[in-house]
Amino acid sequence: MFETNNRILTRSDIDAATLDEGLRAHMLRVYNYMASAVALSGIVAALVASSPAAMQLIFGTPLKWVAMLAPLAFVLVLSFRFESMSKTAVQALFWAYAASIGVSLSVLLLVYTGSSVARAFFISAAMFAGMSLYGYTTKTSLAKFSSFLIMGVVGLLIAGIVNIFLQSTMMQFVISAVSVLVFCGLTAWDTQRIKDTYVEYAGTEVEDKLAVMNGLSLYINFIVIFQSILQLTGQRNND
């Protein structure tokens, strides 16, 4: 036992303080990964969109299928193999995923005006920050909403595939609006999940890799929110 400010600190007090400090450091790493991935995607998107040759090479040839399918391949490998992969390999795939998403986002920079993109980004950032803060601070367990949120994601995927053939503007509007709600909910739930499960892996070799994977979860939430907000509020260049 230790004494400070006339109060005796027990070993459990010290352990709790150490755990809390570790949690804050872990969350900071998670947010750093997420923010860095967003920045990387933005840089790649801007570079590709500013180069007509790059746009033609990627989207005017069969390479467009690589650009479309690469993000899915990266995230599937990360999801199912990260435990057996090294930290360096996990990080490499994470950055590759963010870069591939940047390639996909480059099209949006040509379709929508710069002011629309900037407005959607700041709205998305504010919504993401608010929901993540709520998830971190609330005492209410959000796990009970997880099944509903996952069902919402599945429903959105099915609706998105159907609308590829229907090409319905109204259906796309509904999909975008529901996407904002679902992924804002996922942001709060993921944040709480990251916080609650940290103690299971604190101080282990898995912790560093989980920081990357948790950053990936929040990054995906943010990107979907951003794309949905842009589709809802964005002004097209040809309007």
Instruction: Look at residue 142 in the predicted model and tell me its pLDDT.
Output: 93
For 164-219, how does the pLDDT look when each residue is reduced to its tens digit (9 = 90+)?
898 899 999 999 999 999 999 999 999 999 998 888 877 777 888 999 999 999 99
- Residue 85, judged by CB atoms within 10 A of its CB (0-12, 13-18, 19+), counts as middle
Q: Give residue 163's Cα distance to chain centre.
A: 24
Whole-model pTM over 0.75: yes
Q: Does 239 reside within a domain?
A: no
Among residues 75, 63, 67, 52, the alpha carbon closest in space to that of 213 is found at: 75
Separation of alpha carbons 199 and 61, rounded Å:
48
Split at pLDDT 50, 70, 90, the class of 10 is very low
Number of independent structural domains in the chain:
1
Q: Give residue 172's Cα distance to chain centre.
A: 21
Q: Does 162 reside within a domain?
A: yes
Q: Does 186 reside within a domain?
A: yes
Domain that holds residue 84: 2-233
Separation of alpha carbons 140 and 144, rounded Å:
10
Q: Which residues pair with 4 in a beta bridge?
A: 7
Percent with pLDDT over 70 in the chain: 93
Q: How far apart are the first and last CA of the chain?
A: 70
> Residue 46 CB: number of other CB atoms within 10 A?
14
Tokens 């990054």 correspond to what residue? Answer: 219
Q: Does 98 reside within a domain?
A: yes
For 131-167, how does the pLDDT look when each residue is reduced to its tens digit (9 = 90+)?
999 999 999 999 989 899 999 999 999 999 999 898 8
Q: Does 226 reside within a domain?
A: yes
**Tokens, residue 138:** 């609330």
Q: Does 204 reside within a domain?
A: yes
Instruction: Look at residue 239 in the predicted model and tell me its pLDDT.
Output: 61
Q: Does 238 reside within a domain?
A: no
DSSP the chain: -EEETTEEEPHHHHHHHHHHHHHHHHHHHHHHHHHHHHHHHHHHHHHHHT-HHHHHHHHSSTHHHHHHHHHHHHHHHHHHHGGGS-HHHHHHHHHHHHHHHHHHHHHHHHHB-HHHHHHHHHHHHHHHHHHHHHHHH--S--GGGHHHHHHHHHHHHHHHHHHHHH--HHHHHHHHHHHHHHHHHHHHHHHHHHHHHHHHHTTSTHHHHHHHHHHHHHHHHHHHHHHHHHHHHPPBTT-
Separation of alpha carbons 122 and 141, rounded Å:
28
Give mean pLDDT, residues 26-42.
96
